[in-house]
Each structure stands twice: as structure tokens, then as C-alpha cells.
Structure 1
Amino acid sequence: METEPRGKGPSLELRKVRSRDAARSRRSQETEVFYQLARTLPLPRTVTSHLDKAAIIRLTLSYLRVQHLLPAEELGAESEEETDGYFLRALPGFVMVLSAEGDMVYLSENVSQHIGVPQLDLVGQRVFDFIHPCDQEELRDILTPRQRVGKKQSQDVHTERSFFLRMKSTLTSRGRTLSSKSAAWKVLLCSGHIHTYSSAEPPLTCLTVLCEPIPDPSHIDFPLDRSAFLSRHSMDLCFTQCDERVTELLGYSPEDLIGHSAYEYHHALDTDHVTKSLQILLSKGQVCTGHYRFLVKHGGFVWAETQATVLYNSKSTLPEAVVCINFILSGVQDSGVVFSVEQMERPLTPKSKSEPDSVAMETSAELFLKLKESPEELTQLAPSAGDSVEPLTDSAELKVFSFLPARGPSPPAAPQDLCTPELRQLLTPIFDPVAMETSPSLAPSDSLSFDMDKVEKLFAVRKEDEAPPTTQECEGLDLDMLAPYISMDDDFQLAFLTPNLEPDPPRSGTAKKRALDLDDCPLPKLSALE
């Protein structure tokens, strides 16, 4: 009984040793397989030797996806040229390839120069883990390919994409790199195309974009070009400060722009485009407007592009101003055409009497305060110093523009011009009472009384509007001149005074008696009218 445990002891220890050796051998073989897999990646040995197993699997899957995207001919004829190293330096950002599921298939090597995160830490990762939560739904809609509808299904649909994305950045304004926990959001302008590669198995949809960071105006390390100027605005885009270089580029002095909205100096056809850029600016903090037309003083416009950034209060963290870098991209076009009143010269000094009459231009705020203090000014035109007051009743000759429709017929000078000849003759005593007295054709009193009776009936006051008669007035009335009594119990048919062509229907005794009484009574009023 005592010898059996002694015999089992060495065998148990031997099994444990053999098990540890087998596990060590499997791990070493697995590690060797991963190292061999890492050597197949197009990366330097100094990089692959520091990769862990998860990174090797992630990079290998991304490399296989890239091979599905590129044709076999391009992969076989791959050769490095001397100019290849300058491509990334010339790009204003980094290149990113996304799959339809949101995986980052490829990123260029210079991604760390723009957001601080190394290339190998991003390739194969999900992009939704590195972008702002409010931008994730927008990116999912962009990655979804649009269905082609109609007969022309063989033709490609609109594949161009341009959007703004907030991505994590570990770079500070001074170029130092922070930890991932202290990363901030950087706005990227992403522009590119989405393609579906049906030749791949399975078919692969990818979005290839160039991500260009928008520089912060407060941390610009390079001097601005002579074709650019800085401007500062309030949150409603009114100019508060402006670079003096604007005079050389656009003709305005800084005093001409301060206090006015930037919308007043944009072409009317670019209003929707500028408004959309403003919405992106207020929601994401930075924006690049793209090309739009900036109006030039005295006429014409230039093509421009603006990079705008919202400045936040350090204490309240609320937005307080907008700083813009405005790049002028072209020369003056259509210099002889004035598109806005703001392009004209504003008078700074009172005009002399020898100058032609003109209305002084005031801002809406000043005009509102002036009219609020003195409402009687509404009845007059706003004169300049030394001008005479012109009432609004006088017709002012307005300048006719070619893009306005032709004027309609002028309104009639007198109200009788709107009346028909019959109504004008009837209302002659009101329109021209003096002519009625001197005219010999209207001398007979009967015709005058006849017309006056009709006029009085047209403008007579209704019975319910008059005051009820008093008892003395009722006693003085002639009851014979009043309308006959009509009973509401019987159906009484009112008849005209013209002779009846058909025989009257038989009547009851009471109704017949009342009808005879009505025929016998005199009707002076009706006879007079007849």
C-alpha cells in the first residue's frame, strides 16, 4: 500500500513537465507563424518586430482587402520612383479608405502629422471609435451606396462625396502629442468618391477620401499670402475687425465693412451655399466654405474661399466670435455690373446744394431708433443736411432696372374714373355739386328731386341703426301713409301695381276683405316713384 503512491509520484510530475513543454512548443510555433505572417506585410522589419498578434491579424486583413481593390496588373508592375516620396508632402491632408462597414482599410503614412495617431494604430480599426458621436449617423448614410433607378442602370450614379468630420486628435497647437485619453476633436474636410468593385469576390464597396484639417487661425505658423486677409465677426456674421489688406484686394476700407453683415457682400446666387456652410460652422466649430462670389466695391465680384473658426469663451465655454481666413482666388469679373447697394460709395460728408438731390443711406438700426423717437418722420422722406423736406404724397421718379418687370397702368386720378357712366351720372351731386347747381340741364326740380331720392336711398341709414321714435312723434304720424297691416297667420301674396294677366285664385273671406281694403287705400309713395 505504501509503495503505490511512491510509484505514481514521479509519473505525475513527469506529465506536468511534458504538458508545459508541449504548451511552450505550441506557443513558440504560433509565434513563429505570426512572425512569418508579419514578414509578408509590406512593412519594415523594425516595425513588424514590435507588432502584437492582434495588430498582425488586423493589418493582414486590411492588406488582403487592398489587394482586392487594386487590379493584379498594378500589383505585379509595382515599382518605386523618386517622386513617390513627395506625394504625401504635397497633400494638404492624409488619404483614408473606408469599407461599407466603417473599417479603415488604408491610411497614408502622414496621418500622424495631422491627428497625432500612428498609421498602424488606425488601420483595420472601426472609424466610429475615433469620430464624434454626433457625426456617426451622417457617416453611415454616406457609406451606404445609393441605388440606381431607371433604365440607365449601367451608368454610374453620382459618386462624389464631400462632408465634414470630427476626429480624435492627440496633437496640441504647439505640435506636442498627448495621450489618447486627453485627445481633442479636430474638424476634417473629407472629399472623395465612393466605388463598388463588382469584380472582387465578394463585391466590395469603399469610400476613398482626402481628409484635410482646417487650420486654427489663432495658431497659424506660416505667413498669409498676399491674396488672403483676416476678418473677425460676431456670431451673426457682422464684421467687427478686418485686415487692411482687404482694401487692396476688394476696394473696401475696414470702416466700410465693420458693422455690416457678411451676407451683404455675397452674391445672391450663393446664399444657399453660404447658409449651409454657416450651419456646419455653428454645429461643428469649423468650416471651409468652398468657392463663392465676394462682391467688389464699385461693381463686379471675385471668387473666394473662407476658412472659419468659432472662438469660445474660456470661462463660460460659450461661442463669442468667428475668425475667418478669406482667400481671393481670382481677379475681378463683371466689373461694370453692380449687384448690391453695398458696392456703392457711401457719402461721409453732407452734400452741398449744388449737388443733385439724393436720399441718404442709413442702417436699419439707426432708422428704427430715429422713427421710434419721432414717428412724424414717417410722413416725409429722409433728407440729408441742407435738403428741403419732400412729402411722401409727391410722386418720386424711381430708377428702372432691366431685371424688373414693366410697370402696370397707373391708378386713376379721380374716383369717378372707376365708375360706369350710369353710376357716374347718378353720383354727380356728390362728385361735383357746384356743376349741378350751374348746369341748366339739371334745372328742373322734379329731375333733381328724383335723383336725390335715389341717392338718399343708396346712402340711407338702416332702420335698426336709428333711434326708436318717441310717443309725440308717433302721434304726429299719418297712419294712412303707413304700410297696411299684414297678418302673419295667413299667407298673403304681395302683388305689383301692374294689372294681372291671369285671374286671381279664390281667397278666404278674411283675406279677401283685407286685400280689398289694401286696393282702396291710396299709395302716394309708390305712385311718386312710378
Structure 2
Amino acid sequence: MKMKIANNVAPCRKEQRPLSFDATAIMKEKSKNAARSRREKENSEFLELAKLLPLPSAITSQLDKASVIRLTTSYLKMRQVFPDGLGDAWGAAPPPPQPRELSIRELGSHLLQTLDGFIFVVAPDGKIMYISETASVHLGLSQVELTGNSIYEYIHQADHEEMSAVLSLQHPHSYLGHQYPSLGYPVGGTWGPTVDVECERAFFIRMKCVLAKRNAGLTTSGYKVIHCSGYLRARRFGEATAPLGLIAVGHSLPPSAVTELKLHSNMFMFRASLDMRLIFLDAR
């Protein structure tokens, strides 16, 4: 007599034995050790990366990871604006020195010590690629805090349009200055000979100032008027031209309490009415 097996009977399965307490603890410990090892390697890499930044070791040793990434990105962008820095491009034969370049290199190391202002470089999108530490004297904001952030975060809302025009090649008062062969890469990815051009820029903007009132000078609602002068560098390749960045020097306006001002040989004095009609003009 044949026996029929019911269709609703499920096949037997071998029960899985639960892991013992010791095995679970070992797996957790291994996972914890692996995570600790990854963190240590990551911290070590960030520490080495911070050492490569062109900043004093006293500053780089205190940077968090986000700041290291922000400053490194800004430095790499600067390599596009100045591909050879203060020396020669990596792996390239040194070109014959130009008289203008020699004078710039000679004066560059002493510029910040004698300049009553600060130097800054701004990318076309408004990111501050570089700003000298002397900005803290005029604005109370540190070099590390400003570098890599957007300049629009630190200028008055009413000056945003002016800043955008300065960073554009279609500036109404743009003047084409020096042109010279470039050692940098084409911006648009098209290979071929490139030429760097410089367009002069001069403008006033209101920048955020956090200095104490007695040291801030002329400020209004936490903003300080800065006179900026410099040039917009652009790279021309073929028929296209793309901006690389604005290189400028910022000066604070002299306080209104100044009654005497020393006139240098390249300066003269004049007085004008509110409708800009000259009342007095120095004989110089």
C-alpha cells in the first residue's frame, strides 16, 4: 500500500545555531579595530596634506579636515592662474626670463612688509583663492578663514553686482593690458598655444570688518570701504577667452580725522564741489 505525502508539508530545514557570545564579541572587536585603523590612516593622510600647504606649521597643525580640503582646493586653483609660481613649471625647461618677471620676483618677497593693505586673488566664481594675512589688520578676519570661501559672503549685498562685473571680461571700463605666452593649460580643454592677457581693474567695495570700533577706522554697520586695484587675468586660446582670476590689492580709506597727509612725488591735491567742478588744483 502506497502512502501519499501531503502537499502542505514543508521540507525539513536545518536550524541555524545562534552565534555564541564569544564569537559575537570577537566580530565586534574586529570591526572596531578596522574602523580605528581607517581613522588613523585618514588622519595621517590629512596631516601630511596639511604639511604641504604654503602656511606656517603652527597654523597647519591646528586645521580641521574641512579646512585642509578647502585650502588645498584653493591652492590647486592658484596653480592654474600661476602655473609656474615663483619658479619654473613642473617638468618644463625654464623659459628665458622677462625683465618684468624679474622685477616682480625681486619685489615680491618684500611687498607684504611694505604694503599698507592686503593682496587677494579671486576666482571667476567669487571664491577667494588667496589672501594675505595682512587682511586681518584691516578686516579682523584671518587668512585661513577667508581662503576658499566666497568673497560675496564678506562684501555688502549692494556691492555684489559690482563685484560680478569686475570678475567679468565684459566690464564696461575694461582695459586690455599686458599679453604674453602662457605656460598654463587651456581652460576649455582645447589644446594649442595659449596667451595670458591682463585687464586693469580699480573699484571700491564694502567688506565685512570685525575689528573693535577704535581700531576699525571708517566703518558703517560692520562694513569697511576698501579701495581695490589690480587686474583680471584671462587666458586666450584660439578664438575663445576665459577669465582665470582677479589679482588685486586692497587699501583702507584714511580716517576722516586726518588733517595732514604727506604728498609723494606721484600725488597732487585738488578740491571740487559736489557737482565735481574743480575749485582748486595743485600746481603739480
Residue 234 of structure 2 contacts residue 243 of structure 2 at CA under 8 Å; is this kept in 1?
A: yes
What's the CA shift string for 1:462-492, capped at 9, x where partnerless?
xxxxxxxxxxxxxxxxxxxxxxxxxxxxxxx
Alignment of 1:14 onto 2:26: yes
Once residues 201 and 55 of structure 2 are traced to their aligned partners in structure 1, the CA distance between those partners, rounded to angstroms, is 31
What is the CA deviation profile of residues 391-420 of structure 1, one whole-angstrom value per residue up to 9, with x for unaligned ones? xxxxxxxxxxxxxxxxxxxxxxxxxxxxxx
Whether the 8 Å CA contact 2:233–2:245 is kept in 1: the answer is yes
Corresponding residue number in structure 2 for 1:28? 40
| Cα distance in structure 2, aligned partners of 1:157 and 1:66 | 16
Superposed, which structure 2 residues align to 1:248-259 within 5 Å? none
CA-based RMSD of the aligned residues comes to: 3.6
Flag the structure with more relative contact order, 1 or 2, with Cα contacts below 8 A and sequence separation at least 6: 2
Pair member with larger Rg: 1
Residue type of the partner of 1:171? Answer: L
Match for residue 256 of structure 2 among 217, 226, 240: 217
1:187 matched residue in structure 2: 225
Write out per-residue CA displacement over residues 373-398 of structure 1, whole angstroms, 9 at most, x where no aligned residue.
Answer: xxxxxxxxxxxxxxxxxxxxxxxxxx
> What's 2:142 paired with?
118
Moved over 3 A (4+): 81-86, 155-158, 225-228
Q: Structure 1 counterpart of 2:36, which letter?
A: R
**Structure 2: gaps (5+ residues):** 1-16, 89-93, 95-104, 172-178, 180-195
Question: Equivalents in 2 of 1:173, 1:111: separation in Å?
Answer: 16
- Cα 1:106–1:133, aligned 2, differ >3 Å: closer, same or farther? same
Gaps of 5+ in 1: 148-154, 177-182, 229-248, 251-260, 265-270, 276-292, 296-300, 303-329, 332-530
Counterpart Cα distance in 2 of 1:56 and 1:36? 10
Task: Tell me what 2:125 maps to.
Answer: 101
| Contact 2:197/2:235 (8 A) holds in 1 | no
Match of residue 77 from structure 2: 65
Alpha-carbon distance, 1:120 to partner:
1.1
Q: Which amino acid aligns with 2:123?
A: S
After superposition, what is the alpha-carbon deviation per residue over 1:342-396, rounded to whole angstroms, capped at 9, x for unaligned? xxxxxxxxxxxxxxxxxxxxxxxxxxxxxxxxxxxxxxxxxxxxxxxxxxxxxxx
Structure 2 vs 1, CA of residues 89 and 157 (structure 1 numbering), >3 Å: closer, same or farther?
A: closer
- The equivalent residue for 2:193 is none
Q: How does 1:364-375 map to 2 (within 5 A)?
A: none
Q: Which amino acid is 2:256 matched to?
A: P
Greater percentage in helix: 1
Give the superposition deviation at 1:71: 3.8
Task: State the match for 1:263 in structure 2.
Answer: 273
- Decide whether aligned partners of structure 1 residues 225 and 51 sit closer, same or farther in structure 2, where only a CA change above 3 A counts: same
The code of the aligned residue for 2:273 comes to Y
Corresponding letter in the other structure for 1:189? H
Return the offset for 1:48.
Answer: 0.9
1:196 paired with 2:234, answer yes
User: Higher mean Cα deviation, 167-176 or 38-47?
Assistant: 167-176
Letter in 2 for 1:33: E
Q: Which has the higher strand share?
A: 2
TM-score normalised by length of structure 2: 0.67
Q: Could you tell me whether the CA contact under 8 Å between 2:168 and 2:243 is conserved in 1? A: no
State the shift of 1:197 in Å: 2.5
1:29/1:82 Cα in 2 relative to 1: closer, same or farther (>3 Å)?
same
Letter in 1 for 2:211: L
Q: CA deviation at 1:294?
A: 4.4
Matched pairs, number? 222
